[in-house]
Amino acid sequence: MVVLVAKYYVTPGKSNEVETALKTMAACVREQEPGCLLYHVNRSRENVDLFLLYEQYRDMAALDAHRATPHFREIIEGTIVPLLDKREREFYEPIMS
């Protein structure tokens, strides 16, 4: 299993647009990506311009497939990334289940 944790630091004033796009993305992932075991989007209580994504994939092939989907290219790369000041990503492997 591969775990991806991403933080999206949104340009002030653009957070509601990013939230809407992330909701659409989550629905696409649930419906079209059997290799994604969990796609959980969170918004900070202290900073409305900060989002945390927690994702679990069956393996690296499933993560690579996720990144190659039309919805990833359109929603994440095309819509969300241009609205960010910064994006951080970290990859993990579970040590216990």
| Other residues' Cβ atoms within 10 Å of the Cβ of residue 42 | 12
Tell me what the pLDDT averaged over the chain comes to: 97
Provide the pLDDT confidence category of residue 97 given band limits of 50, 70 and 90: low
DSSP assignment of 23-35 equals HHHHHHHHHH-TT
Length of the chain: 97
13 Rama class: left (phi>0) / alpha (psi -120 to 50) / beta: left
pTM above 0.85, yes or no: yes
Spans of all domains in the chain: 2-92
Mapped onto helix, strand or coil, the DSSP state of residue 19 is helix
As assigned by CATH, the class of the 2-92 domain is alpha beta
Q: For the segment 26-58, what is each residue's pLDDT rounded down to a tens digit? A: 999 999 999 999 999 999 999 999 999 999 999
Q: In whole angstroms, what is the distance from residue 20 CA to residue 55 CA?
A: 18
53-76 pLDDT tens trace: 999 999 999 999 999 999 999 999
pLDDT at 27: 98
- For position 10, what pLDDT does the model report? 98
